[in-house]
Amino acid sequence: MIEWWVIPQDADLSKPSSTKLSSTSQYVWKLAWPTIISHLLFTTVGFAHIKIVAELGTTSVAAVTSGHRVFFFIQAILMGLSVAATALIARAWGAQQVRQAELVSWASIVLSVALAAVLSIPVLLIPETIAGLFGLDEESTQLAARFIFWLGFFYVFAAINMMLGTALRATGDVITPLWFLMFSSTLNVAGAYMLAFGVGGLPQLGVPGVALGGSAGAALITVFFIIFWWRGKFNLKPAKWAPVNVSIARQLVSIGGPAVIEQGIVQLAFLAFFAIVAHYGTSAYAAYGIGISLVAFSIVIGFGFGLATATIVGQQLGAGHKDLAILAATRSLRMALAAMTTLSVLLVWFAGELAAFMIDDPEVIHLTVVFIYMIALAQPLMAFEFTLGGALRGAGDTRFPLIATFCGIILGRLLTALILMSLELSVYWIFSVMLLDYAIKSGLLVYRFRSRKWLDIKIGAAINLTATVDSDKKNT
């Protein structure tokens, strides 16, 4: 049992509620499994990209690994905005205020497009400078720059796909985004392979072809996603060409701002950590990239439960059910712990086989196995970070997760790694600092969750949106 130390003892979980939840655990799983599969598909794309270029050598693996980090950096910043969208849309939907949810989703999509367009500018103008930040050899840096450049053309499509999927999931519709992501992932991998090796008379572009072919295939599905939504095929309708409400935008910025900063810190720290690993050579760098692509399949399990928790917490707080918000977070944590621990054991058991499947370089295989062992120990701690962090963000409490992230990744991981590197210790010690990072973050989030202060976060969007709806009625 987990509840005895996670749930405050005065929480009344036995009291019946008017909510339609027949079983909290079942509802958590209902929202979590399609989200988990969606992120597994997303992770599979990254895994496939690495596998495709592995045939081209370690240099190509290092280049694609670097390109992926830049893409994830952009995605992470946009994810900060999606955190705010989830909190506001889920609360409005839980309160049965459909028009409010539609206006928030419209504003979040417009803002995400603008943000993605701005973020793509440096990627398109100075890709060589960005690739140079990783400290790779000249050949790897040039390949990474070309990979980064072609990905930059499609950031806007990725932003729309993310935000539209976020909006639908916040209403409880987790199946529709899953279907579109399945098609998107399939075309992404197919396009990446075809342009990498010149299949079917197409030019053989190598590493840049992975970025161009994959992104173009995904963008095509995003266009269909937009068309279906625009024609009102989903439960959340578009507020067609409505001006972005200033009150909504302020709420998105207020809630999403700390989440954007948090993700920015995470990704910048990861980039710096990559540079530290690169200090130990291309083999260590490639092993780290391959290791991440492998363990990501397990990590997305926790991430899926985190998103499900954020949605349910937002909906229950919008409906006024604090007890069910607490219960949902706790049940989600229990399920995430069981799933991630099980997968960690499997990763460790098959670490050698998985590493050998990805690449045939003995040194890279050895370092990849070491990395998998280290990260497997941290995954139960990640379950706490994802689920409890999701609960806080779903309630609109995005500032405390920012503090926890800063303490964990900057003080626990990055600063410690720099000290260990200055002491000229081996890369094994560098990999081990990930344990300290996740221990700090999970400990702080448990503390905040038990305080119950996150239950009383006030979100004023509903009041302002109500005024907007009334105004719309008068104008019609």
Q: How far apart are CA 151 and CA 148, in angstroms?
A: 5
The rounded Cα 131 to chain-centroid distance in angstroms is: 22
User: Of how many residues is the chain composed?
Assistant: 476
- For the segment 378-397, the average pLDDT, to the nearest whole number, is 90
Lowest mean pLDDT among 10-19, 203-212, 337-346: 10-19
pLDDT band at 459; cut points 50, 70, 90? low
455 or 9: whose pLDDT is higher? 455
Percentages (nearest 5) of helix, strand, coil residues in the chain: 85, 0, 15
> Tell me, what DSSP letter sits at residue 242?
P
pLDDT the model gives residue 471: 38
Task: Please give the average per-residue pLDDT across 167-196, as a whole number.
Answer: 88
Rounded mean pLDDT of 235-254? Answer: 82
Average pLDDT for 155-166: 90
**Cβ-contact 385, 442 below 8 angstroms:** yes
Statement: residue 59 has pLDDT above 70: yes
Q: Three-class SS of residue 332?
A: helix
Mean pLDDT for the stretch of residues 458-470 = 47
Query: 165 or 69, which is more confident?
Result: 165
pLDDT at 466 over 70: no
Confidence of residue 33 (pLDDT cuts 50, 70, 90): confident
The secondary structure of 395-443 as a DSSP string is TT--HHHHHHHIIIIIIIIIIHHHHHHHTT--HHHHHHHHHHHHHHHHH
- Distance (Å, whole) CA 470 – CA 294: 51
Average pLDDT, the chain: 82
Cα gap 248→260, rounded to integer Å: 17
Residue 373 has pLDDT above 70, yes or no: yes
Cα separation of 319 and 328, whole Å? 14
pLDDT in the model for residue 463: 39
What tens digit of pLDDT does each residue of 406-431 get? 999 998 999 999 999 988 888 889 88
Amino acid found at 69: R
Residue ranges per domain, the chain? 23-468
* pLDDT tens digits, one per residue of 271-309: 788 888 888 888 888 888 788 877 777 788 888 888 888
What pTM does this model have? 0.72
HSE-CB at 238 with a 13 A cutoff on CA atoms is 16
pLDDT of residue 267: 74
Per-residue confidence band for 12, with pLDDT thresholds at 50, 70 and 90 = very low
- Round to whole Å and give the CA distance between 329 and 116: 31
Q: How far is CA 116 from CA 87, 222, 268, in A?
A: 21, 15, 17
Q: Are 333 and 327 in contact (CB under 8 A)?
A: no
10-18 own/partner pairs: CB under 8 Å, 24+ apart: 11/323, 11/326, 11/327, 12/323, 13/323, 13/326, 13/327, 15/323, 17/321, 17/323, 17/324, 18/319
Q: What is the pLDDT of residue 39?
A: 75
- Alpha carbon distance 175, 70 (integer Å): 29
pLDDT of res. 23: 67
* CA gap 256, 251 in Å, rounded: 8
**pLDDT exceeds cutoff 50 at 8:** no
Cα–Cα distance between 89 and 171 in angstroms, integer? 7
Name which residue leads in pLDDT, 228 or 140.
Answer: 228
Between CA 158 and CA 165, with CA 159 as vertex, the angle to 5 degrees is 90
pLDDT for res 388: 94
Give the pLDDT band of residue 169 (cuts 50, 70, 90).
Answer: confident
